[in-house]
Structure 1
C-alpha cells in the first residue's frame, strides 16, 4: 500500500493494490513518512475499507482537534471490547469514542464530570457492554492518571451498544428514522445545510442517536433541581436553539406520543447551538 495522505503519525489514508482508498491505523505507522511512501504492513493494526470517503474527512478533523494519544486510547479500548464482547463494532465508534474519551479526561481535570442518569438502566439492560465499559475505565485511569467514576463505564457501554452490529432491525430502523426526522426539523428551522464532515455535526448526531435509542427503549434522562437550574441558563442563553428544540419536542409528542424531559431538552439545545454557531462562523469566514 502507498500513502496518499498522512493524518498524523498513527493514521494515514492509503491506496491499496487494487487502487482503492483505505484508512490505516497503527502506532507510528506514518512516522517519517510522506505521500507516495510504502506502508509497512507489520505496523498496520486496523484497516478501514468501508465508507472511506465519509470517514476520511472526519478522521482528518479528529486528528487535528484531538491529541494522538486519545485516538490510540480509543483504539485500545475498542480492541479490548471486541475481545470481551465477541462481536464486531461499527467503524464510526473510533471517531465517537476518541472524541468522548478526550472530552471526558478534560472534564475530569476541570472537575466538571457529568453524572450518568442511565447508570442503573445501562448496567441492567446491557451487562456485557457495561463490564467492557468498566474495563475501559480501568485502562483509562491507568493511562491518563485519572480516577473516573462508574458513570463513565455506562457512558462507554452505550457507545458499544450504539456501535453493535447485533441490534434488532426494527429498532435500528426506528432509531435511524428518528435521527433523520430530528435532523430535518433542525435543518428546516434554521434554513441551513449541515456539513457532514464537521466534528460538531458528528457530535450532535451521535447525541441524537443516543436520544433516539432512549425513545425507542422507553427511557429518558430525568431532571432534578440542579439540572433545572442549568436548563434555565441554557434556555435564556441559547434562545434560538431552545426554540428549535421546542419544535422537536412538539413533533415527537405528536408522532411518537413521548414526553421529552427538561434534561433531554437542555442537552439537545447545547448540541444544536454548537452546530448552528459553527456553520455561522464558517459562513462569515467565506465572506472575509
Structure 2
C-alpha cells in the first residue's frame, strides 16, 4: 500500500491514511524532511505505524509535538526501542506520548531546581528489576543528551512508564500496585520486627509473588483450590503458625482497604513465602 502524507507533525512524524481511509500515525527518522501534504512516504523510512486509538492518539500527538521540541521525541524513540529489546516485549502506543511528556517535564523541573523524591524507588527496583535496569540506561541517555544530572529517583518514574505500557494499564494502577506491595511488606516487617535482606533470593521470590498476588486481586481473579492445596493448607496452618497469622493480618488489610477477600490458596502460598524469608532472617 502506498502511503501519502495528510499532515506533517514534524520531520519524523506524519499523519496518513490506511486502506479504510482512517487516520494513522507514521513515524520514522526524517520521514517528512522537505515533504508536504500529498507527498508519498518512502517505505524504507517507515519505522512504526500507529493505528490504535486514532484519531484520539493523533490529536494528542499534534498537541504535544506543538508544545515539546522535536529532540524529546527522538530520545523517547531511542529509549523505547532500547527498552523493547532489553525487556523483549512491545509497549502500548501511548507510551510515546506519556514518556515524552514526562521526560520534557522532568528536564524542565531540573532546570528550575525542582526535584521530586520517588517514595517507591526501593520497591520499584525490587518489583520491576528488568524495567528498572532499562530505565537506568534511559536516565543516562537523558542526562547526557540534555546535560542534566537527574537523580536515581527519575529511573524509578521511567520504570513505571515501562510497566504501565507493558501491562496496558493506567499509571494510577501501577502506582497502586506498588504501594500495596509496599504496605504488605511493612506489615510483615513490623509483625516479625525484622529487616529484610533485600539481596536474598527468598526476598525476591516473596516480592515477585506479592506483585502477582496484587495483580490477581486487581483483576479479581484469585487462585482456585486443588485437593493437594487443601491438604497443604492444613499442614501450613499447623507448622507455620506465626507466618500464617501474619498473612491473616495482611488479608484483613486487603479486605478493609479494597474489599477483596483473599482465598485460602492465596493465603497458603503467601504463608510459604513469608516463612522462607523469616527463616532466612532468623
8 Å Cα contact 1:215-1:258 kept in structure 2? no
Q: Which of residues 74, 85, 90 in structure 2 aligns to 1:83?
A: 85
Residue 215 of structure 1 deviates from its aligned partner by 5.7
Cα deviation, 1:156-177, whole Å, max 9, x if unaligned, reads 0011000114x7xxxx6xxxxx
Residue 22 of structure 1 deviates from its aligned partner by 1.4
More displaced 10-residue stretch of structure 1: 209-218 or 50-59? 209-218
Q: Alignment partner of 1:2: what SS?
A: coil
Distance 2:172 2:44 in 1: 38
Residue 29 of structure 1 deviates from its aligned partner by 1.4
Cα deviation, 1:51-93, whole Å, max 9, x if unaligned, reads 2212111111111111111111111100000000000111010
Q: Which residue of 2 aligns with 1:96?
A: 98
Distance 1:256 1:56 in 2: 41
8 Å Cα contact 2:164-2:171 kept in structure 1? no
Q: Which residue of 2 aligns with 1:141?
A: 143
Structure 2: stretches of 5+ with no match in the other structure? 185-253, 259-282
Distance 1:257 1:7, change over 3 A: farther
Structure 1: stretches of 5+ with no match in the other structure? 173-205, 221-254, 260-288
Q: Which residue of 2 aligns with 1:43?
A: 45
Cα deviation, 1:71-118, whole Å, max 9, x if unaligned, reads 111111000000000001110100000000001111111111111111
Q: Which residue of 2 aligns with 1:58?
A: 60
Query: Which has more radius of gyration?
Result: 2
Aligned positions of 1:82-231 closer than 5 A: 82-165=84-167, 208-214=172-178, 217=181, 219=183
Cα deviation, 1:111-167, whole Å, max 9, x if unaligned, reads 1111111110000110000000001011111111112211111110011000114x7
More displaced 10-residue stretch of structure 1: 63-72 or 42-51? 42-51
Q: Alignment partner of 1:42: what SS?
A: helix
8 Å Cα contact 1:92-1:163 kept in structure 2? yes
8 Å Cα contact 1:3-1:38 kept in structure 2? yes
Kindly tell me the number of residue pairs found equivalent between the two proteins.
188
More displaced 10-residue stretch of structure 1: 151-160 or 23-32? 23-32
Residue 11 of structure 1 deviates from its aligned partner by 1.1
Aligned positions of 1:262-277 closer than 5 A: none
Residue 216 of structure 1 deviates from its aligned partner by 5.6
8 Å Cα contact 1:13-1:24 kept in structure 2? yes
> Is 1:3 aligned to residue 5 of structure 2?
yes
Distance 1:97 1:256 in 2: 34
